[in-house]
């Protein structure tokens, strides 16, 4: 009998509550005053405003894909289209922490892309495709895009850091004086404390094993392909998809958290993806 992949269609009460509060504290919404309040104060405030938190959590348990009212911005993605009227010019500037990242003048039609958000969303969509079609290639696309999004986020944040840095000795550069480039592992362990003052003790986290597994797989299959490298069974594919949850999703979440930056829905969702399992396909 054929086997297929399925993702669990439920969350535990604890998982649903955690996911809801992740959105309250880190989602792209305007109720900023709630972010730092204790859970009890948040619940009291929401109850006063007529928000049924208990119902929200219960509905999320039975449907993990249900949008979280008030706190989940469904307009995700980092690609926008801009149209200019005939004869007119539209100027588009992208700012992060007061630093201009890019500036473009549009006279007709243009597509603006924010790499780290676009790549992360593409990774999530490829992950979904891998589950739906048992696609190993879609899975490799998911991890490639996932790591691209992490690299792009570091590039963005380093650009902002360097633009504000008054001490030339503290400017960060990817190219080493001795040759070669700074690895992503080193950026996470060594650069993040410089950029944010936050140190992620990643070496002691189980998620670090997932990260290294996916990083090595990406390198051996997509970056420097090795003969015979890659996954070979549907069970290995399910395991790899489940590692995406922490090895890429949780890492991207923690990076945004370190910078104190609210994040798009797909990042919060990714680190709480339901478990993917191998099941027998229904006949007929």
User: Comparing 7 with 283, which gets the higher pLDDT?
Assistant: 7
Please answer whether residues 50 and 85 qualify as being in contact, where contact means their C-beta atoms are separated by less than 8 angstroms.
no
Predicted local confidence at residue 167, as pLDDT: 86
Q: What is this structure's pTM?
A: 0.89
Relative to beta strand 109-113, strand 99-106 is unpaired
- Express each pLDDT in 106-144 by its tens digit: 677 666 678 899 999 999 999 999 999 999 999 999 999
**Is a pLDDT exceeding 90 seen at residue 28?**
yes
Mean pLDDT of the chain: 90
**Is a pLDDT exceeding 70 seen at residue 8?**
yes
Predicted local confidence at residue 75, as pLDDT: 75
Six-digit token pair at 197? 């003052």
Mean pLDDT of 176-193: 90
Band (284; pLDDT cuts 50, 70, 90): low
**Is a pLDDT exceeding 90 seen at residue 72?**
yes
Predicted local confidence at residue 3, as pLDDT: 92
Predicted local confidence at residue 258, as pLDDT: 94
Mean pLDDT of 187-206: 87
Predicted local confidence at residue 92, as pLDDT: 64
Please answer whether residues 281 and 176 qualify as being in contact, where contact means their C-beta atoms are separated by less than 8 angstroms.
no
What are 280's strand-pairing partners?
3
User: Comparing 104 with 262, which gets the higher pLDDT?
Assistant: 262
Lowest-pLDDT choice from 48-62, 80-94, 146-160: 80-94
Question: What is the rounded distance in angstroms from the CA atom of residue 155 to the CA atom of residue 134?
Answer: 33
| Helix runs in the chain, H state only | 13-26, 39-48, 53-62, 115-133, 136-164, 184-186, 192-196, 206-218, 234-244, 251-258, 265-270
**Is a pLDDT exceeding 90 seen at residue 100?**
no
**For 250, how many CA atoms within 13 A lie in the half-sphere containing its CB?**
18
The domain spans of the chain are 3-78+114-169+178-280, 79-113
Mean pLDDT of 194-219: 90
**Is a pLDDT exceeding 70 seen at residue 51?**
yes
Predicted local confidence at residue 105, as pLDDT: 74
Predicted local confidence at residue 81, as pLDDT: 63
Predicted local confidence at residue 223, as pLDDT: 87
Predicted local confidence at residue 153, as pLDDT: 95
């Amino acid at each position: 009998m054929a086997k297929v992949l399925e993702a669990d269609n439920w969350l535990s009460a604890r998982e649903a509550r955690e996911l809801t509060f992740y959105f309250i504290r880190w989602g792209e919404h305007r109720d900023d005053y709630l972010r730092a309040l204790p859970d009890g104060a948040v619940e009291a405030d929401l109850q006063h405003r007529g928000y049924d938190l208990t119902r929200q959590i219960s509905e999320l348990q039975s449907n993990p894909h249900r949008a979280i009212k008030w706190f989940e911005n469904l307009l995700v993605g980092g690609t926008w289209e801009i149209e200019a009227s005939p004869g007119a010019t539209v100027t588009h500037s992208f700012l992060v922490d007061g630093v201009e990242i890019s500036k473009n003048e549009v006279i007709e039609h243009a597509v603006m892309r924010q790499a780290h958000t676009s790549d992360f969303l593409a990774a999530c969509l490829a992950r979904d495709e891998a589950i739906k079609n048992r696609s190993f290639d879609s899975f490799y696309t998911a991890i490639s895009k996932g790591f691209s999004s992490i690299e792009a986020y570091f590039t963005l944040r380093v650009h902002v850091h360097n633009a504000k840095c008054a001490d030339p000795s503290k400017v960060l550069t990817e190219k080493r004086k001795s040759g070669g480039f700074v690895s992503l592992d080193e950026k996470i362990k060594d650069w993040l404390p410089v950029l944010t003052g936050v140190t992620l003790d990643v070496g002691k986290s189980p998620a670090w094993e997932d990260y290294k597994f996916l990083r090595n797989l990406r390198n051996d299959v997509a970056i420097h392909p090795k003969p015979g490298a890659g996954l070979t069974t549907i069970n290995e594919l399910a395991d790899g998809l489940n590692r995406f949850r922490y090895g890429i999703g949780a890492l991207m979440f923690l990076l945004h958290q370190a910078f104190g930056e609210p994040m798009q829905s797909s990042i919060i969702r990714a680190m709480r993806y339901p478990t993917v399992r191998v099941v027998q396909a229904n006949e007929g």
